[in-house]
Amino acid sequence: MSDPWGTTVIGNRTKQGPSVIRNAGDLNKARLKGAVETDRKLSQANKVTSGDHARIAKLDRDNEVAPPPKIAPAVGKAIIQGRNDKGLTQKDLAQKINETPRVLQDYESGKAVPSQVVLSKLERVLEIKLRGADIGKKLEPKGKKKEEKKDGASAPSGSK
């Protein structure tokens, strides 16, 4: 008897699509049969790249930005001297300039990055110059400068 519609097999599995292998033993069996197809996925860190990135990284290392300059030791010594002349502790001076004692310690030890705002506060309280060429000199009172200008303006010019 011949079957006009073809043979029908019941009980045998047909070939399935790709599946996930859960352990190393199954993976080895599949490799031996030649039924393994692997796609290697590379993360961003493991990507194969050209030499441009290595060259750019080397340039970045060579052109490192220098750290900001620290305050000069002469300024720290002038702050200590001015504070001692006024009879102030670090805590007292820090309160007067509205800063923390740690900031003042950094300025006195020369570890701080100079801030013009903090230096101007220190100059005003200690009445000494902390910026420019003559660090540590006494600041002249504000009234004295105005008096000199008035005297200079009222002096006759002598030419007419």
70 has a pLDDT exceeding 60? yes
Instruction: Choose among 79, 75, 77: nearest CA to 125.
Output: 79
Q: How far apart are CA 153 and CA 80, in angstroms?
A: 39
The CA-CA-CA angle for residues 137, 143, 145, to 5°, reads 65
Mean per-residue pLDDT over the chain, rounded: 78
Confidence of residue 35 (pLDDT cuts 50, 70, 90): confident
Q: Give me the pLDDT at residue 105, please.
A: 94
Beta bridge partners of 43: none
Q: Give me the pLDDT at residue 101, please.
A: 93
The CA-CA-CA angle for residues 76, 78, 83, to 5°, reads 100
Confidence of residue 30 (pLDDT cuts 50, 70, 90): confident
Residue type, 49: T
Q: Give me the pLDDT at residue 160, please.
A: 45
78 in Cβ contact with 68 (< 8 Å) = no
Give the mean model confidence (pLDDT) for residues 6-12.
69
Task: Provide the whole-model pTM.
Answer: 0.51
Rounded to 5 degrees, what are φ and ψ at 115? -120, 125
Which H or E element spans position 95?
A: helix 90-96
